[in-house]
Amino acid sequence: MKIITLAITGASGLPYAVRLLECLLQSGQCVHLVYSQAAQIVAKQELDFTLPNRPQDAEKLLCERFGKFSGELRVFGRDDWYAPMASGSNPGDAMVICPCTMGTLAAVAAGLADDLITRAADVMLKEKRPLILVPRETPFSAIHLENMLKLSHAGAVILPPNPGFYHHPQSVQDIVDFVVARVLDHLGVEHGLVGRWGE
């Protein structure tokens, strides 16, 4: 079982985050979840889903939503400085920010660890643990691209949610699964979401 921090920020793309969370829990991983206030707004807009303010309420609601799973879920508040991922002494195995706003990406690139999301990402970089960012914006400005390059040089994986179409997706869910499959690949988590190239 891996310990994976999943941070959800307020970019469009909440279906990616929810599907990723579901797949991680079903595959037996321990997920430490944290989300921004803007993510709560986007979840309501894109999924008609309310992410509660209190972490314990969110844990209960998400467990009910996903039903039985073999993994573990812990939800943390964005200002919970006692959360495990806030320290290099207990960083977990990997972190994903999905979707990742340009503001969050810029803050991580600049080392501005002023909430749990950006602090956890900062810890991942300094401890040389896998950090995957799923930036959801188009087009990218020169500033966005420079920040991504800076993070790539620092060891982060920049994984924009750009779906492929060679697997002939038949639904929006197929497109979501393609992106989530790429994130799971980079986390080293087995899945059967999409067929592999050449198979």
Q: Is residue 13 part of a domain?
A: yes
CATH number, position 87: 3.40.50.1950
Give me the pLDDT at residue 73, please: 97
Segments forming the whole domain that contains residue 22:
3-187
d(CA 118, CA 40): 17
d(CA 132, CA 94): 8
- Cα–Cα distance list, 22 to 16, 31, 107, 191 (Å): 10, 10, 27, 12
**Structural domains of the chain, count:** 1
Q: pLDDT under 50 in the chain at which residues?
A: none
Distance of CA 109 to the CA centre of its chain: 17
The DSSP code sequence of 37-51 is HHHHHHHHHHH--PP
Q: Is residue 198 part of a domain?
A: no
Cα–Cα nearest to 178, from 192, 189, 190? 192
Q: Is residue 31 part of a domain?
A: yes
The percentage of the chain sitting over the pLDDT mark of 70, rounded to a whole number, equals: 100
Give me the pLDDT at residue 196, please: 83
d(CA 73, CA 12): 23
